[in-house]
Amino acid sequence: MSSTIIYHMVAMTVPPELTGSDQPVVLIAAQMGESNCYESHSGRRSRSWQALHFGTRDQVLTDAIQMAGGFEGGGLKLGGASRWVEPETYIRRAKRLLKEADAVRATEPVPYGGGLVFAGIAPREAWDKPRQPIAWDDHERVRTFMAATLGCEKAPRAYSLFNVSGPEMR
């Protein structure tokens, strides 16, 4: 059975002038990979950075709590493939990341692990269509995107809204 392994996580805040929200808006990105997927050229487990959670603090925490159930059954793991994690451990990590997010702006590269993590808005309208990037400095389009996305009751699926890249960490 395979598991999704979350290796590294970083949180960042979208500046309020771009969200139009009176609440902080947070993006949590992670370097992740599957326990049974390997790079053909090196034989190492494949990993990539992606957006994991996005929304107001309450939306992100709710999404993290829902996702934490995956640790109970072993479908999700933190760190190495053999490390068993209780859901409460992931929820504590999400809460810690939410506190750390205030110091980091999503519009700028985030120093992490000797490299930089970049998050860009790139919503996907449909799986068969290419992403349509929105530059952070295009304030009007960013505010329109944020208003439409944050207006949802449920936290939006972050992986379909952002492109994230970061350092190759092993």
Contact 44, 78 (CB under 8 A): no
**Each residue's pLDDT tens digit, 58-67:** 999 999 999 9
Per-residue confidence in pLDDT tens, the chain, 170 aa = 788 999 999 999 999 889 888 888 999 999 999 888 888 888 888 889 999 999 999 999 999 999 999 988 888 988 864 567 889 999 999 999 999 999 999 999 999 988 999 999 988 776 667 778 999 999 999 998 888 888 776 666 788 889 999 988 77
Neighbours of 147 (CB within 10 A): 12
Cβ atoms within 10 Å of 105's Cβ, excluding its own: 16
Single-letter residue type at 142:
V
What pLDDT score does 43 carry? 84
Record the tokens describing residue 138, joined without a space: 């295009």
Nearest 5°: phi and psi at 145? -60, -45
Per-residue pLDDT at 104 = 93
121 with 136: CB under 8 angstroms? Answer: yes
Q: Give the pLDDT of residue 127.
A: 65
Residue 80, token pair as written in the block: 């190495």
Please give the C-alpha separations between residue 18 and each of 107, 132, 141, 169, in angstroms, as whole numbers.
10, 18, 9, 31
Question: How many other CB atoms are there within 10 angstroms of residue 54's CB atom?
Answer: 26
Question: pLDDT digit string (tens) for 123-153?
Answer: 877 666 777 899 999 999 999 888 888 877 6
